[in-house]
Amino acid sequence: MLHAGRGGGEPIGIAMQNRPVRPGLSVPLEEALNELEEGFAVFDAEFRLLAWNRRFLELHDLPAALAFPGAEYESFVRCFAERGDYGPGEPAALVRGRMTGARRAERIEIELAKPMDRVIEAVGRPLASGGYLSTCADVTARRNRAVQLEAQVEERTRALRLSEERLALIADEVPAGIAHFDSELRILYANRRFARAYRRSPAEMIGLHATEVLSSRTLGDSECYFEQARRGALVDFEMRVELPDGRFKDIRTLLRPERPSSGEVIGFYLLSIDVTRRKAAMAALMGAQKMDALGRMASGISHDFNNLLTVILGNLLPLAEEIGEGELNREFLAPAIAAARRGSALTQRLLTLARREQFAPEPTDIPGAVAEICTLLRASMPRKLVIGTESTAEVPSALVDRAQLEMALLNLAMNARDATGGAGHIRIEIAPYDLPPQEAELLYLPVGRYVRLRFSDDGCGMSPEQVERIFEPFFTSKAAGAGSGLGLSMVYGFVKQSNGAIMVDSAPGKGASFTILLPSVELAALPPAPLALPAPEPASEEESPPLLLLVEDDRDVRRTLRRKIAALGHPLIEADSADEAKLLIQRIGAIAVVISDIDMPGTLDGFGLARWLAAERPGTGVVLMSGKAGLAGQAAAELPGLPILRKPFTDAALAAALATARAQAHAPQPARRD
């Protein structure tokens, strides 16, 4: 089927039964024309059919009777119009219109849809002699291939577009500035981070010269590196960059030349990484390492230094008493004694500066401490951030440093404020918790009673990756300059220092919940038998002083203390280690009081000796002493009621401690069960 196309022209087609009727046409030529894949028909200047082949009739679905030599073109047009090939309309009007267009003899090309999804391409063209040639061909396969190719092109275009969008997204989200420069230092591409650093959008950066973006100082410092990249070198460098807002950033930059297939460098790619925070973190880490080294040094020398002060004061004080009041005492001894005491205070300040001896745990009412800090938080937090607390009855006291507990709650509140944007809810729940064995094994904690403190907010939440790193020092999800990344690290350090555990439950958009387990006082009491001491009572005049065992590894300190104890009227024996003291106690049943240093060599220290005495000799009085403030504080926390002496100590402090130990030795003891 053919119909009019451009200009109303119509290629004319006719059909035949077997071969065209054409005088003088040889049989082989007729057979060859009928075997062509393309159909054709030839009309004369009067639009009468001259010749055609069988393929022309087949492709147009024309009846054979319609085609004969001299057949009128109008008969074909009427057939096409009546069967609807020209579309809707009155057939007579359609025939008139088609005939008018055919007489114009214009070249036309049209495609016709046939049954079975076939596509026929028909072409009509005028002949120089005044006739008209109409050809037709089945282009179904070709059109199908074209459709497939178009589909492939569309699919590949879509994949390419998706890949470009993905690469653009990656380039915009990576924590680095990326730019593409040509050989003239004009920007061909810039990702969002690079453009934002210079207060522009990526689109605004395109076409700008480096001189229009970088400051003169930055350009001058980096020009030599750009020149190396333009010559084909791989360049890595680090420098301080001045940004448009006047800020300075430490930037590590990588330049990579662009080489097309010709091998000539036509530009280079730039990748810049902000290392300002990393350098600050390294500086902070180095500072922390220095402080840690200072703390270790101070902690290590404090014991020996205080032992020296004990010997010095132990000799100067008796000498001052022996000389009495006078010019010699005031001029020489009193300043020496005061200097020795200032040396002890200096050691403590050094330890405090190094943050090695600041943890001072004490039995703390957790609900009371939380209520106190919440009162301060409500006054300082945004009004739209609601803070609520809930506490169950009979919450046991926990052994923590109260000041550090309050600081931990403050850090959690600040974190919640940032997560909620200053508008939301914070909930603090406090309850006792009995840690089961399975959970204790996972948390590396002893089984027992704990205080569970749950701090929750309804903020933005955290991803699993953030939860995994939330307690790392200097890690923060906040913008540069908005946080140091140390707040939650300090919370973690406080919990671990308190021998507790902390867990985090969070998801994006679902807030965060921090669960803290703090050991109760009863769990923190390590001795198997509690050292409950009665109030010290003075010994009667008729009662002889009890035998005392002095345990001290430093010979000079031991000699000084022996003289002090002897001056108080106590008979004593000596040991230079806790292991030796244990053997003496087992052999000599008359030992009533043991005064021992805490930090000593051997398998037992002062803590171990005290616990062994509580279990095996509960009627024996114990006094512990140390030149380290941390050990003295630990002894007071772990062995409540036990007399603790911090070196150097005065004769009065020694006498009071021994009086308490004598009362301990005279207290009635329950019968032992062997």
> Residue 349 has what pLDDT?
47
Using the predicted structure, report yes or no on whether residue 470 has a pLDDT greater than 90.
Answer: no
Using the predicted structure, report yes or no on whether residue 674 has a pLDDT greater than 50.
Answer: no
CA dist., res. 543 & res. 668, Å (int): 17
Domains of the chain in sequence order: 6-138 (3.30.450.20), 174-274 (3.30.450.20), 279-353 (1.10.287), 362-524 (3.30.565.10), 547-666 (3.40.50.2300)
144: CB partners within 8 A, 6+ apart: none
Question: What mean pLDDT comes out for the span 83-105?
Answer: 80
3-class secondary structure for 392-450?
Answer: CCCCCCEEECHHHHHHHHHHHHHHHHHHHCCCEEEEEEEEEEEECHHHHHHHCCCCEEE
> Residue 299 has what pLDDT?
60
Question: What mean pLDDT comes out for the span 453-468?
Answer: 86
3-state secondary structure of 674: coil
- pLDDT (tens digit, 9 = 90+) per residue, 571-585? 888 888 888 888 888
Highest mean pLDDT among 119-133, 296-310, 426-440: 426-440
- The overall average pLDDT reported for the chain is 78
Report which of residues 380 and 384 the model is more confident about: 384
Q: pLDDT band at residue 482, thresholds of 50, 70 and 90?
A: very low
Question: What mean pLDDT comes out for the span 58-85?
Answer: 83
CA dist., res. 641 & res. 533, Å (int): 6
CA dist., res. 217 & res. 240, Å (int): 10
Q: pLDDT band at residue 234, thresholds of 50, 70 and 90?
A: very high
Among 9-23, 49-63, 419-433, 557-571, which stretch is predicted with the lowest mean pLDDT? 9-23
- pLDDT (tens digit, 9 = 90+) per residue, 500-528? 888 888 888 888 899 999 998 888 654 43
CA dist., res. 643 & res. 654, Å (int): 10
> Residue 546 has what pLDDT?
76
HSE-up of residue 391 (Cα within 13 Å, Cβ side): 14
- pLDDT (tens digit, 9 = 90+) per residue, 353-376? 444 445 667 888 889 888 888 887
Using the predicted structure, report yes or no on whether residue 129 has a pLDDT greater than 70.
Answer: yes
Please give the share of the chain, as a percent, with pLDDT higher than 90: 11
> Residue 621 has what pLDDT?
87
Using the predicted structure, report yes or no on whether residue 103 has a pLDDT greater than 70.
Answer: yes
Report which of residues 341 and 653 the model is more confident about: 653
Question: What mean pLDDT comes out for the span 91-98?
Answer: 85
Using the predicted structure, report yes or no on whether residue 542 has a pLDDT greater than 70.
Answer: no
Sign of the alpha-carbon dihedral angle for 556, 559, 563, 566: positive
Report which of residues 112 and 674 the model is more confident about: 112
Phi, psi for residue 60 in degrees, rounded to 5: -95, 0
Using the predicted structure, report yes or no on whether residue 79 has a pLDDT greater than 50.
Answer: yes
CA dist., res. 508 & res. 464, Å (int): 9
> Residue 476 has what pLDDT?
65
Question: What H or E segment, with its residue span, contains residue 651?
Answer: helix 651-666
